[in-house]
Structure 1
Amino acid sequence: MSPGTSVGRIPVIDVSPVAEAGRFPAKAVVGEAVPVRATVFREGHDAVGATAVLTDPSGIDRTSARMVDIAPGLDRFEARLVPTSTGDWTFRVEGWSDPYGTWAHDAAIKVEAGVDVELMLTEGALLLERAAARTGTDAMSRASVRVLREAVIGLRDVRDTPQERLSAGLSDAVHAALAAHPLRDMLTRSEAYPLTVDRPLALAGSWYELFPRSQGARFDAAAGKWISGTLRTAALDLPRIAGMGFDVVYLTPVHPIGETHRKGPNNSLFADLGDPGSPYAIGSPAGGHDAIEPTLGTFDDFDAFVATARDLGMEVALDIALQCSPDHPWVTEHPDWFTTRADGTIAYAENPPKKYQDIYPLNFDNDPEGIYTEIRRVLQVWIDHGVTLFRVDNPHTKPLDFWARILASVRAAHPEVIFLSEAFTRPAMMQTLAKIGFHQSYTYFTWRNTKEEIEEYLAEVSGEQGAWLRPAFWPTTHDILPPYLQTTGVRGFAVRAILAALGSPTWGIYSGYELVEDVPRPGVDEQIDNEKYEFKPRDWSKADGIGINLLLGRLNELRRTHPALQQLRNLRVLPTSDDALVAFVKHLDAKHSPTGLADTVVVVVNLDPWTTREGIVELDLHALGLDPDHPVVAHDVLSGDTYEWGSSVWVRLDPMVRAAHVVHLVAP
């Protein structure tokens, strides 16, 4: 910008994606088509243009794209840029006066009206001569230069009619040449804004949660007690999980579990002999957060689990819960890390009306430096043993400055490590946790059930918010069984799996989803016999008869084969005429697709698990790069059926037959 001005010669304002005026970086992953937007305008009626520029961590401008006016009359421009490596990138928007656009608009009107005809044609020739003569960063290909010079000849050829001469300057070839290499006068640059680029799994991945102690657990009738499963027996189940196409196997805490105030089944205050207790009550004489529960095995067993997962193409995520049982070594070694009440007792965790007498929360105010140093050391222990993702339990109950420091430190040393925030809390906290560095976040998806709720939420998480908060959609968790899934059976579980897997690039299920575990504990939206407090071995052979496991595998296969489903900010909700039909489209144009081919997937879901629903789905084929005047081939990748679809599509979904259409659109 020029000295003494506030906006520059060509104002560039409202640039996005920008969090808190650039205080926090926006997010992207390698290969993601990042929408960059800005409002660009100028005084008077002359045309303006805009360019989005992406700069790599070394400071080199790696890619740029001509921005398109996406809101005529509102001066809002957009382009999509694709970073090619991880690191700390920046982007900016350049606004400029577009002399060719101004001339083309005015000349078409004046020549048609017979006003200043020769003058307009001469000005056009001079303009294209200037464009053809450029060198340096604006250098054009020989073919483009030839096109412009031929247009100049045509504009000056007095043997032709004025309209023929004008047509030479307005040809498609001239427009294409100047679209690729525009004349840019009065160039004005915005500030450079930060963009943190991670590896693709930070945006798109499928998670499978399990309690390792339940895998292989058995009841010893002779001893009258349960025998815990181990990391070795849990590893035996990894081929089944990998066979459903999951990318990440997520383990609840594997640390030693305390005995003091150990909880019994369903969070009861009394545990019988052999009750395993909650893995979230971390710490015993066997160790704390840097140790493994002895009944699960050793670090050699953990390393073997990680190695098996990797051999099957999966990575391992570990639950990090920064809290302690009364038996944790920290309680005696660092009593100031906890809150002491007026009666001298240490305060246990509460989330009224729930009470967790077996857990002491950390107090980060008395010795923040000591706690930081220890937690950073603990994380390093698990990173050194092959953990590449952490699911962080209740991060919203810890100070944000602590997390900002931890996340920055781990990122600097191990940029491949990904953190998932389990923060079902107020929006401001969830958003800020994302802005300070959490790669992914649990969301309110679990409680969005009606058509209006789902449509609104899909639009919200895939919009501007998606620049920093990457949503992870989970139909259930070990603590949450939403009302919709308590009453809808297999069909309801299918509906929520489709919405989760295709509505967000990251999704996950809690072990047992394949068996449609849907019995709630009375008065609480969670499963009866919560696995947090007891062993829960499962007979996986029953899953084949239910079929949800087959659906999960097919959904994960589709996510891998369709690049559009691996993106977040390309989702658009589609209007439907029935109050139980939800429809959305994910589109990736050929220019931004890793396959070089456009990819368009339309999802239509019947939310009513009991009743056949039918209605009209409105498609904007033109916006998808398809010809609205010709039907497109619509291949249902779930059923294998093929249809012809136009701009308005009639659909009929019988929940007894299919829960959804998942359709790949292809131009004929």
Structure 2
Amino acid sequence: MATTPRNQRPSTATPSSAPAPDPAPPESAPAAPASAEPLPERPARIGRIPIRDLSPAQPEGRWDAKAFAGEVVPFAATVFREGHGLLGVELVLTAPDGAVTTRRMAMGAAGSDRWSTEAQLDQLGDWSWIVRAYSDDWATWLHTADIKVEVDQDVDLVFAMGAQLLEGRKGKVCTEARAAFLDTSSPGEARLKVAHDPRLAREIGAAPVASLTTESAPLTLRVERERAGVGSWYEFFPRSEGAKQRKDGSWQSGTFRTAARRLPAIAAMGFDVLYLPPIHPIGRVFRKGPNNSTVAGPHDPGSPWAIGAAEGGHDAVHPDLGTLADFRWFLGQAKKNGLELAIDLALQAAPDHPWVEAHPEWFTTRPDGSIAYAENPPKKYQDIYPVNFDNDPEGIRAEVLRIVEHWIAQGVTTFRVDNPHTKPLDFWEWLLGVIYERHPDVVFLAEAFTRPAMMRSLAGAGFQQSYSYFTWRNTKEELEEFLTSVSTETSAWMRPNFFVNTPDILTEYLQFGGPAAYKIRAALAATGGPLWGVYSGYELFEDVARPGSEENIDNEKYEYKPRDWAAAEREDRTLAPYLTLLNQARREHPALRQLRNLRVHWSSDDALLVYSKTIESEFVRSGRRDGVIVVANVDPHSVREGMVYLDLTALGLDEEAEFGVRDLITGQRWTWGAENYVRLDAFTEPVHILAIEYPRGV
């Protein structure tokens, strides 16, 4: 990173208008000193004190790094200098309202030259920050004094130099110390004791003795609202809630009014975001039947993602669900239950969408004259036409912006975007940038299960949240690598949402893992990241897949699926109480609502995954440090036992400390230390979620 040095040497190059230099001296004359020659000009790429590799930052500096309100953000930079002089390094933060905060940075492992600090940012908007480094002349002198006084070397000279550093300082302690240093009748040890007086350290700390001050170039950190980075999502199909089958085999669809009856139960489980798949009219041409069959019966409702029919397109509500006014009423009911409503933004069209007739240029026409439907070979989606964003980019952009603005006007503040990786990245950069400028509280979740470069670039370009590979990371080794990656490597701009399942994803782990697998995956998702989600039916252990696929049999994408929630509760075959405990733990422990604080620990068993999350006391409203340790048996078919080895310094504890832990699921308590025996039975409680009972003052 280029820097802007404060004490850069002024240029000595001769300006073009200067008079010609004197003739060369005779051979007998002494050579002129080299400094008499003009120095060649070179652009400064580094400051007097090098400051490099600043974080948080996005690769290439193309887009700004991100945080959410209340997030504890680690700031770091590599800072070093020539020789043995000691450095002081500071983080200087400028809030959107112009307020400036300075925090001292500390060096990590000795010799690493990596300096860091943390700051909790709560003001929305763009923060500016720099790293300031300087030669810490006082610390350098004190280090030298310690060495020389011990061996009785140049003692008076050393203290004369120390007095020189304090010259002109008006503080009482500094004045007294300077006089003591110049008292040559006083032993060196006595004068050194004065130099180490804590009062002197505080007085100098308030105004360091600094030189060669250098500042990095400024970086920007965008702070978005808390819901952009923290949330418990619940997905359900409103048409299934209250749906009834008639005697003739036809169905009476659920509506927004009947679906609202489910809201209190969702809120009671502790979820705070309710996500609805597309609520628009569904195409009739090439409508899909049960289990994605290409033949639909007269009573099959079709896939909500096949958007558009005679009743309207992306700005319309499916008439079976109600009217636009009914939607606004439903949104209000969700808010009354503490639920923020997220709707689907799926930029595609059914063959009978109004766009197809009005704007055929928005699609791809094949050589035979037909419009290309969506394919992901060998999968075919004959009921969906993908939009070609290159045929009329301005027209398409205007229409999509109109649609998003339309739903924002209804009160929607969160969009789950279907398959954004199949649309151009520059389109998303434009759209999300415009929406942020107009509506900075709006959140977009990218449903992009695709290659890492595209996933990360979508997040970088503006998506506040992203689906991730969590769904397919199941072994201890896979999870350790994944959790470390998302909490460190990409956390400056990518916020993973740990959905445990979706209408399209029922992994083999869930298909064959039984109730234990459902507990394990929910516990890991709820504690591993501040964003997680479930698709309706998860709490009922729905685990039967369509043969040869990762989709549920009788998939709700293609048919109504009413569920008897009351019967499941009566018969005690629901995971709802467990999900409630997980969300309660997230509310009570701020450490679980952070992403960048996850640390993986070690265990002796290859199925015992161990990680922790902590947050320092200065960032907790209660004023006490908060920490949680998670130990999970990721094998849903067995009992696992072994030793858990904790890095207690990562927990904010002494290496030899003993401390209490309380299981947030069972309520049991134990005394733990650096080494602990654990036995986890997958068929009872496969996961420990342990709150650390910190001693007071920690």
TM-score (norm 1): 0.95
> Which of 37, 40, 50 matches 2:79?
40
Separation in 1, partners of 2:114, 2:513: 44
Identify the match of residue 97 of structure 1 among 114, 131, 135.
135
Report the CA distance between 1:18 and its aligned residue: 1.6
Task: Please say if 1:603 is aligned against 2:630.
Answer: yes
Q: Deviations 1:366-411 (Å, cap 9, x if unpaired)? A: 1111111111111111111111100000000001111111101111
Cross-structure match for 1:140: none
Can you list the C-alpha shifts for 1:63-97, whole angstroms capped at 9, x where unaligned?
22111111321211111122231112221111111
The answer to whether residue 314 in structure 2 is matched with residue 289 in structure 1 is yes
- Report the CA distance shift for 1:559/1:372 in structure 2 as closer, same or farther (over 3 A): same
Mapping for residues 211-360 of structure 1, pairs under 5 Å: 211-221=237-247, 223-360=248-385
Residue in structure 2 matching 1:53, options 64, 88, 92:
92
Distance of 1:320 and 1:438 partners within structure 2: 13
Deviation at 1:595, TM superposition (A): 3.2
Q: Is 1:188 aligned with 2:227? A: no
1:119 partnered with 2:157: yes
Partner of 1:573: 600
1:9 is aligned to 48
2:144 is aligned with what amino acid? Answer: D
The amino acid of 1:656's aligned partner reads: F
Match of 2:67 in 1: 28
The residue number in structure 1 matching 2:694 is 667
1:136 aligned residue: none
> RMSD across aligned C-alpha pairs, in angstroms?
1.7
| Counterpart for residue 520 of structure 2 | 495
Distance 1:476 1:379 in 2: 26
Contact 2:93 2:101 in 1 (8 A): yes
Match in the other structure for 1:142: none
Q: Paired residue for 1:517?
A: 542
Report if the CA contact (8 A) 2:96-2:123 is conserved.
Answer: no
Q: Tell me the TM-score normalized by structure 2.
A: 0.91
1:325 and 1:102 mapped to 2: Cα distance? 72
Q: Per-residue deviation at 1:538?
A: 0.6
2:105 to 62, 67, 70: 67
Segments of structure 2 that go 5 or more residues without pairing to the other structure are: 11-42
Q: Answer whether contact 2:126 2:221 (CA < 8 A) is retained.
A: yes
SS of the residue corresponding to residue 110 of structure 1 reads helix
From 382, 385, 388, the counterpart of 2:413: 388
Which residue is 1:106 aligned to?
Answer: 144
Structure 1 residues 446-595: aligned runs within 5 Å: 446-544=471-569, 545-595=572-622
- Answer whether contact 1:66 1:179 (CA < 8 A) is retained: no
- Does the CA-based 8 Å contact 1:28-1:34 persist in structure 2? yes
Q: How far did 1:588 drift?
A: 0.8
| Aligned CA distance change for structure 1 residues 342 and 409 (closer, same or farther; 3 Å) | same
Counterpart-to-counterpart distance in 2, 1:149 and 1:547: 73
Distance 1:595 1:51 in 2: 27
Distance in 1 separating the partners of 2:448 and 2:206: 45
Q: Is the 8 A contact 1:574 1:583 kept in 2?
A: yes
Q: Is the 8 A contact 1:22 1:194 kept in 2?
A: no
2: distance between equivalents of 1:175 and 1:542? 69
Distance 1:543 1:460 in 2: 38
Aligned to 1:440: 465
| Aligned-pair CA distance for 1:159 | 7.0
Q: Given that residues 543 and 549 in structure 1 are in contact (C-alpha distance below 8 angstroms), is that contact kept between their aligned partners in structure 2? A: no
Asked which structure has the greater CA Rg, the reply is 2
State the Cα distance separating 1:485 from its structure 2 match: 0.7
Question: Per-residue deviation at 1:659?
Answer: 1.5
1:207 and 2:225 aligned: no
Shift of 1:128: 4.4
* CA deviation vs aligned residue, 1:534-558 (integer Å, no higher than 9, x gap): 0111111244313421111111111
Counterparts of 2:658 and 2:112, CA distance in 1: 32
Distance of 1:618 and 1:373 partners within structure 2: 56
Instruction: Provide the rounded CA distance (Å) in 2 between the counterparts of 1:297 and 1:170.
Output: 76
The offset of 1:37, in angstroms, is 0.9
